[in-house]
Amino acid sequence: MGNDLLNVIELSDFNLPTMKNEDWKYTNVAPILKNNYVLGTSLGYENYLSLPLNDYFFKDFDYYKVVFINGIFVNELSDLTGLESGIIVDSLTNFQKNNSEILANHLNKYSAIDNGFNELNNTLSTNGLVVFVPKGKVVDKPIQILYLNGDSNENVLSVPKNLIIAEENSQATIIANYHGIKGKEYLTNIVTEVYAGKNSIVDFYKIQLEEENSYHVEKVQAYQEANSLFNHYNFTFGGSITRNDINTCLNDENIESHFYGLYLAHKEQHVDNHTFVDHAKPNCMSNELYKGILDGKSRGVFNGKIMVRRDAQKTNAYQSNKAVLLSKNAIIDTKPQLEIFADDVKCSHGAAVGQLDENSEFYIKSRGIPKDIAKSMLIRAFAADVIEKIKIDELREQINHLVFEHLNRVEVKNN
């Protein structure tokens, strides 16, 4: 297939942010702009069916299976057998055909277009995922979605749009699992909207394992109704430049939101996490725990904004972000941002950056354990409080494995 048949996108047509923009101060997206990209959906998915797709899924627990290749929902590789009637997991296109009213009530209702990446997604996204959980329904198994992106010969742009609708009293667990295809540089640019209705519980796991020559940008915007609980778990391993914006709006009372993040970077990887917790109403609680492990010449950015609006009395909002630098060439820029307009609130934030503790390393070595294993134990110890928040036991140990695999260090397993 020649380039002339493909839909070539020039990113310069979109007003992508520059470092002059305060929100992008530490993240230079210029390397992304040096390529022209073909839209992933124009490549089709048939060429990739020989890849060992099953190996990319997290294993040893039951899940509903969805496969996206370069932004195309691949029905024949997905397995939704047993999904209770009324619960819908489908492509955005199909959902539009069959449930256009529901879609119209939710799509693009929560996420504003904040920057050129959002605009790019909005303009080009023709496909994506919808998870619709109607009132009172509980999805009995996690929905694991494999997003496979990239191509050996083309610079691919994938622009999936995800929409999670959890109606009143419903419950769902989503695992968004991003992988890459070895080859040319590619850009994955996602917008995810989450609607958590009254009394609903949404657990959203994102595990980013893209190729290390790829670019990955996602904006998550959640909107929460009264008594809802939204847990977002964000694990970054891959990508050359990664930018996550994770936002939630707590727009009624007794809402709870938890953001957990663990990001690893080595070589020259760049990982930027921006979070925004918007407390609009009273008696809500948010808690945020982000940890970074930076090796080589990698760079991490954390910017955590908490807004407590005037009405949001009795808010409890906590934020903690820590980074450990495994090499003297790694850098972290961290910025907590609290904007509080209510007077009866409990808010705290803390940031810490350091190396692995020498005294702890000595303790471990003094038991005859060699230095490399001692360091791995301390890495596991550092990541532990984030990883322990994972509710799926089997996923927890697989994430631990990825930590050591990614850092190319000896693995420490509990057995």
Partner 1 sequence: MLVIKNLKANVEGKEILKGINLEIKAGEVHAIMGPNGSGKSTLANVLAGNGGYEVTSGEIYFEGKDLVELAPEDRAREGIFLAFQYPIEIPGISNATFLKTALNEVRKYHGKPEATPKEFLELLKEKSGVLGMDPQFISRSVNVGFSGGEKKRNEILQMLMLQPKLALLDETDSGLDIDALKIVSSGVNVFKNKDNAVLLVTHYQRLLNYIVPDYVHVLSQGRIIKSGGKELALELEEKGYDWIKNDELIEENV
CA distance 387 to 390: 6
Site size for partner 1, by CB under 8 A? 29
Site string for partner 1, 319-358 (x = CB under 8 A): ---------------------------------------x
CA distance 133 to 40: 28
Phi and psi at residue 407, in whole multiples of 5°? -80, -5
Nearer to partner 1, 139 or 377 (CB): 377
Site string for partner 1, 105-144 (x = CB under 8 A): ----------------------------------------
Task: Decide if 283 contacts 316 (C-beta within 8 A).
Answer: no
Of 112, 384, 401, 405, the one binding partner 1 by CB under 8 A: 384
Nearer to partner 1, 339 or 394 (CB): 394
CA distance 51 to 151: 12
Q: How far is the CB of 408 from partner 1 (least distance, A)?
A: 19
Q: How far is the CB of 374 from partner 1 (least distance, A)?
A: 8
Q: How far is the CB of 288 from partner 1 (least distance, A)?
A: 19
Q: How far is the CB of 102 from partner 1 (least distance, A)?
A: 42
Name which of 235, 273, 238 is nearest 400 in CA terms: 235
Site string for partner 1, 39-58 (x = CB under 8 A): --------------------
Please report which helix (H) or strand (E) contains residue 371, including its range. helix 371-387
Name which of 269, 288, 277, 209 is nearest 247 in CA terms: 277
Site string for partner 1, 170-199 (x = CB under 8 A): ------------------------------
Nearer to partner 1, 85 or 359 (CB): 359
Of 385, 389, 397, 398, the one binding partner 1 by CB under 8 A: 385
Strands 201-209 and 171-180: parallel
Q: How far is the CB of 291 from partner 1 (least distance, A)?
A: 12
Nearer to partner 1, 310 or 371 (CB): 371
Contact status: 262 vs partner 1 (CB under 8 A): no
Q: How far is the CB of 10 from partner 1 (least distance, A)?
A: 47
Nearer to partner 1, 168 or 411 (CB): 411
Contact status: 392 vs partner 1 (CB under 8 A): no
Q: How far is the CB of 411 from partner 1 (least distance, A)?
A: 11
Name which of 12, 62, 13, 70 is nearest 40 in CA terms: 70
Contact status: 393 vs partner 1 (CB under 8 A): no
Q: Please enumerate in sequence order all residues whose Cβ is within 8 A of that of 382, keeping only pairs 6 or more positions apart, or say none.
A: 291, 293, 322, 324, 356
Q: How far is the CB of 326 from partner 1 (least distance, A)?
A: 17
For 358, counting Cβ atoms within 10 Å of its Cβ (0-12 exposed, 13-18 middle, 19+ buried), the class is: exposed
State how far the alpha carbon of 223 is from the alpha carbons of 103, 130, 278, in Å: 15, 16, 10
Query: What tokens does 307 get?
Result: 């807004």
Q: Judged by CB under 8 A, which stretch of 30-38, 50-58, 67-75, 378-386 contacts partner 1? A: 378-386
Q: Please enumerate in sequence order all residues whose Cβ is within 8 A of that of 199, keeping only pairs 6 or more positions apart, or say none.
A: 168, 169, 226, 227, 228
Nearer to partner 1, 45 or 233 (CB): 233
Of 381, 389, 397, 398, the one binding partner 1 by CB under 8 A: 381
Of 10, 388, 394, 405, the one binding partner 1 by CB under 8 A: 388
Contact status: 61 vs partner 1 (CB under 8 A): no
- DSSP letter (8 states) at residue 200: -
Site string for partner 1, 356-375 (x = CB under 8 A): --xxx-xxxxxxxxxx-xx-
Nearer to partner 1, 20 or 367 (CB): 367
Strands 8-9 and 37-39: antiparallel
What is the tally of helices (H) and strands (E) in the chain? Answer: 7, 22
Sequential DSSP letters for 207-230:
EEE--TT-EEEEEEEEEE-TT-EE
Contact status: 264 vs partner 1 (CB under 8 A): no
CA distance 41 to 47: 12
Name the site residues for partner 1 (rule: CB under 8 A): 358-360, 362-371, 373-374, 377-378, 380-381, 383-385, 387-388, 400, 412-415
